[in-house]
C-alpha cells in the first residue's frame, strides 16, 4: 500500500463516531451492504448522518470492484 492510500485509509468518514475509512471498508468487506449495517458492525449509530453519502459511495466502489473482478 502506497503512502497516499495509507493516508486515505486513516481519514475519518464519520466524525460523530470517529470511524475511519479503513474501519468502514473492513465492515463492508465483512458483509455490511448498507450504512445501517456499517454502523452496527462498528458498534455505533447514525447521529447527524452526514457520512451516509460517503458510505454509500464506498459501498458502490466495492460493488463495482467486485463486478469488475468477476468479469
Residue among 11 and 49 whose Cβ is closer to ligand FES: 49
Residue among 34 and 65 whose Cβ is closer to ligand FES: 34
Per-residue binder mask for ligand FES (CB under 6 A), 3-22, x = binder: -----------xxxx-----
What DSSP assignment string belongs to 1-47? --HHHHHHHTSEEETTTTEEHHHHHHHHHTT--SHHHHHHHTT---S
Residues in Cβ contact with 34 at an 8 Å cutoff, skipping those fewer than 6 apart: 59
Size of the site for ligand FES (CB under 6 A): 10
Binding site for ligand FES (CB under 6 A): 14-17, 46-51
Amino acid at each position: 500500500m502506497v503512502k497516499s492510500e495509507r493516508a486515505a485509509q486513516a481519514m475519518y468518514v464519520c466524525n460523530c463516531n470517529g470511524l475511519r475509512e479503513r474501519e468502514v471498508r473492513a465492515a463492508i468487506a465483512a458483509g455490511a451492504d448498507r450504512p445501517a449495517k456499517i454502523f452496527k458492525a462498528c458498534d455505533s449509530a447514525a447521529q447527524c448522518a452526514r457520512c451516509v453519502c460517503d458510505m454509500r459511495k464506498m459501498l458502490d466502489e466495492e460493488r463495482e470492484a467486485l463486478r469488475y473482478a468477476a468479469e
